[in-house]
Amino acid sequence: MTQGMLSEPTGSVTGAGALLSILRDGQARTRAELVQLTGLARSTVSQRLDALLTHQWIVPATDAISSGGRPATAFAFNQGARVVAAADLGATHARVAVTDLASNVLVERTADLPIDRGPEVTLGWLVDTLRDLLAETGGLLCGVGVGLPGPVEHISGRPVNPPIMPGWDGFPVPEWLGSRLGAPVLVDNDVNIMALGEHWAARPEVEHLVFVKIGTGIGCGIISERRLHRGAQGAAGDIGHIRVTSADVICRCGNIGCLEAVAGGASIASQLRKAGIQAENSRDVVGLVRAGNTQAVQFIRQAGREIGDVLASIVNFFNPSVIVIGGDIAEAGEHVLAGVREVIYSRSLPLATQHLSIRATELGDRAGVIGAAVMVIEAVLAPEAVDLTVSS
Amino acid sequence: MTQGMLSEPTGSVTGAGALLSILRDGQARTRAELVQLTGLARSTVSQRLDALLTHQWIVPATDAISSGGRPATAFAFNQGARVVAAADLGATHARVAVTDLASNVLVERTADLPIDRGPEVTLGWLVDTLRDLLAETGGLLCGVGVGLPGPVEHISGRPVNPPIMPGWDGFPVPEWLGSRLGAPVLVDNDVNIMALGEHWAARPEVEHLVFVKIGTGIGCGIISERRLHRGAQGAAGDIGHIRVTSADVICRCGNIGCLEAVAGGASIASQLRKAGIQAENSRDVVGLVRAGNTQAVQFIRQAGREIGDVLASIVNFFNPSVIVIGGDIAEAGEHVLAGVREVIYSRSLPLATQHLSIRATELGDRAGVIGAAVMVIEAVLAPEAVDLTVSS
């Protein structure tokens, strides 16, 4: 099974997807309206509507019985037609959910789960957890979306040399999960799905958005013309390894002077330890900031400035209308944002910053899991993907 | 008249654009093939084909007469159906052409034309020149594409605070030209149309491309998923004003340390003058490099490195598969490219550079004018734009 093969397997009805992509906005429409909107013949529209009704993708919007036995004349998308399984697997913890086709979370679970235990342990846990959650919700599973904390080849859904995921390189995640869960599986890196989730659920009107995750490492997800920009090798958004200083700071990638090595959560914790303050990781840093530790506030604000310096160049190059800051370190609140804003507004072009909004994530730590669901929903409901058996 | 209103004004035939967008690849197709490809009814396809034939958008691909009076069974796109007017207006010189619908240049003219004489002088010259060229080619003009050396608001086609174009701010270029030439007019900045031209004519298979223009100033045009990425304010690609040094180098934009102020053509000429070598502008710099002047070669290679430093960050962020270097200074050849490559390959992530190609423009100084034509052709042939009177 390959990424993107999300259509139902048997038979085909051209045009059913076109109807569904019109109806999925939630508004009910009559047969006549659908004929006009699609340009398809009335008989064709009727046949497609029958198929969609049979498979419960749509429901009659007027009650056929209460209106005296006359046939229902309007149809609406049934967002409960299928359920979606979604997982955001981080370096040390995981969040798993089952959603409906509008990405509403029906049930979810979080757990401490170190990704470096390898794919079979991690994915085995995921299969067990999803089976539990699916037993709770019921419903027909139409796909599984998974976010991983490393580069993922888009076509195959396999991790590619992920630095913090020993044993995962080239592991066939979609096939392994798909054969156990009996549904198609889509995989992407965590920052891409966070960008997708934030865009779809919180800012669908925005054309160009950059979602910056500041955690142990630093990366970003990019929305261009409302679509995820993955780049030629799926490597787009890897801003953590942009060189920002010629100082002799060694990064875990092996280069020197990377943004992540001076402004990531691990770096800030290390700076705090050098100043004699106990801090192991991003969470400790955020805890110290929240407790009002002056040194921690200073370091985190400076990290914001370093990140802002890189983002100032990106604003000139890409001209987004929204930059969203998320990830563990973003939970330290306004201090990071202040540093980021300070540099972007002083460095970037006025034309590019006059309507630019720089804000904290609205979805918080749910951005990833909602994005994983959105990735599946978009694929399932793509006009060319909906491919139904004719019931007649 | 607003940018983008390129459909023919009277009547409407839904589906004609869909047929045309299939046929424009140049391959002839039968009625039956078109029925299958579109999913439209045979009678609908016949009606649309008749309308397209009437308006000469398509031609019969088999000769109806020589085959004994039987009706022609295949149809092909008629790339000579309309002509396109295209202009690349630079800071000091202009290139104007008339092309067919496959962006083949039918006739062209270049001239020294300082843009700072203001819009009426410049555009008046353009109208006269295009009328001459159109008289030479004949054919029905379907649109005019214009590139300007400054920021252009995408929706209105008007320049926005262009720094080197006094008198042009907010000037209604599409309306002014449209009323005189009797055709819709599309306007964009010069680097965007160069990217469009290079992508369409030389590398149509590439998904993600960055075209860097190095002239007096520095800017880039961005192709994401085969489409031009203009950004939220149409300001995307303005990499010339990314800060690259904290040294006290003042840029014409008013900031200090901009890339353009240390690596643009004007900056290199000024560095040469300080070294006692006569050089007024980019052309002089290129002349000196070609003549083997060691100092000029050194400066231009260092400029390549400075530009490479900015592009290295862009490669990590955007992950393009091709970077194209164009503009006056690019004519100095391998010296600039060598500097650019040196830094990108040492700084960017291996995953992002392993298949990255960094090359000189293939279209040379014609990239802009071909791109201006492509901008019009894409709009004219967009499925939703083709809107024909039914002939019956």
Model ipTM value = 0.86
Determine the Cα–Cα distance for residues A157 and A154; give it in Å rounded to an integer.
5
Reading the block at residue B380, the tokens are: 């004219």
Contacts of A14 in chain B (CB under 8 A): 39
Interface test with A, best of B35, B319, B321, B323 (most A CBs within 10 A): B319
Chain B contact set for A243 (CB, 8 A): 312-313, 347
Residue A388 has pLDDT above 70, yes or no: no
Dist CA A317 CA B384 (whole Å): 30
Beta bridge partners of B147: B88, B188
Q: B113, B92 in Cβ contact below 8 A?
A: yes
Q: Is A148 helix (H, G, I), strand (E, B) or coil?
A: strand
Sheet hosting strand A357-360, strand order edge to edge: A227-228, A218-224, A209-214, A322-326, A357-360
Q: What whole-number percentage of chain B has pLDDT above 90?
A: 61
We find that the CATH architecture of domain B205-361 is: 2-Layer Sandwich (3.30)
Tell which residue, B253, B254, B232, has the closest CA to residue B153: B232
| Architecture of the domain defined by A204-361 | 2-Layer Sandwich (3.30)
Q: For A2-6, A121-125, A251-255, which range has the lowest pLDDT when averaged over its residues? A: A2-6
- What does the mean pLDDT of chain A come to? 88
Query: Residues in chain A, how many?
Result: 392
Domain boundaries along the sequence of chain A: 16-77, 83-194+369-380, 204-361
pLDDT at A386: 58
The set of residues, in sequence order, having a beta carbon less than 8 Å from that of A302 and lying 6+ positions away, is: A263, A339
Q: Which residues contact B36 (CB under 8 A, 6 or more apart)?
A: none
Same fold, A83-194+369-380 and A204-361: yes
B319 at the A interface (CB within 8 A)?
yes
**Mean pLDDT taken over chain B:** 88
CB B364 within 8 A of CB B139: no
Predicted confidence (pLDDT) per residue in B224-271, tens digit: 999 999 999 888 999 999 999 877 888 888 888 999 999 999 999 999
Q: Is residue B105 pLDDT above 80, yes or no?
A: yes
pLDDT of residue A11: 33
Q: Would the CB atoms of A318 and B241 count as touching at under 8 Å? A: no
Cα-based distances in Å from B154 to A323, B235, B237? 22, 10, 14
The sheet carrying B209-214 orders its strands as B227-228, B218-224, B209-214, B322-326, B357-360
Give the residue-averaged pLDDT of A182-193.
95
Q: What whole-number distance in Å separates Cα of residue B204 and Cα of residue B65?
A: 37
Lowest-pLDDT choice from A10-24, A156-170, A258-272: A10-24
CATH assignment, B83-194+369-380? 3.30.420.40
Per-residue tokens: B262: 């240390």
**How many Å apart are CA B387 and CA B373, to the nearest integer?**
20
Strands (E), B113-154: 141-148, 152-153
**How big is the A-B interface in CB pairs under 8 Å?**
144
Interface of A with B in 285-314 (CB under 8 A): 310, 312-314
Work out the minimum CA distance from B87 to partner chain A, whole angstroms.
Answer: 25
Contact predicate A310/A244, CB 8 Å: yes
* Nearest neighbour of B242 by CB, restricted to A229, A316, A351: A316
Q: Hey, is the C-beta of A161 within 8 angstroms of any chain B C-beta?
A: yes
Q: Does domain A16-77 have CATH number 1.10.357?
A: no
Across A2-11, A68-77, B241-250, which has the greatest mean pLDDT?
Answer: B241-250
| B64 has pLDDT over 60 | no
User: Are B208 and A231 an interchain contact pair (Cβ–Cβ within 8 Å)?
Assistant: yes
Determine whether the interchain pair B351/A161 forms a contact, defined as Cβ–Cβ distance below 8 Å: yes
- The token pair that represents B215 in the structure block: 């002239």
- B203 is written with which tokens? 């590398």
Instruction: Quickly count: other Cβ atoms within 10 Å of residue B11's Cβ.
Output: 11
Asked if A233 and B316 come within 8 Å (Cβ–Cβ), the reply is no
Question: Is A127's pLDDT higher than 90?
Answer: yes
pLDDT over 90 at A84, yes or no = yes
Instruction: Tell me the per-residue pLDDT of B183-206, one tens digit each, with 9 for 90 and over.
Output: 999 999 999 999 999 999 999 999
Band (pLDDT 50/70/90 cuts) for residue B390 is very low
From B14, B317, B320, residue closest to A239, measured CB to CB: B317
Determine the pLDDT at residue A273: 96
SS3 assignment, position B251: coil
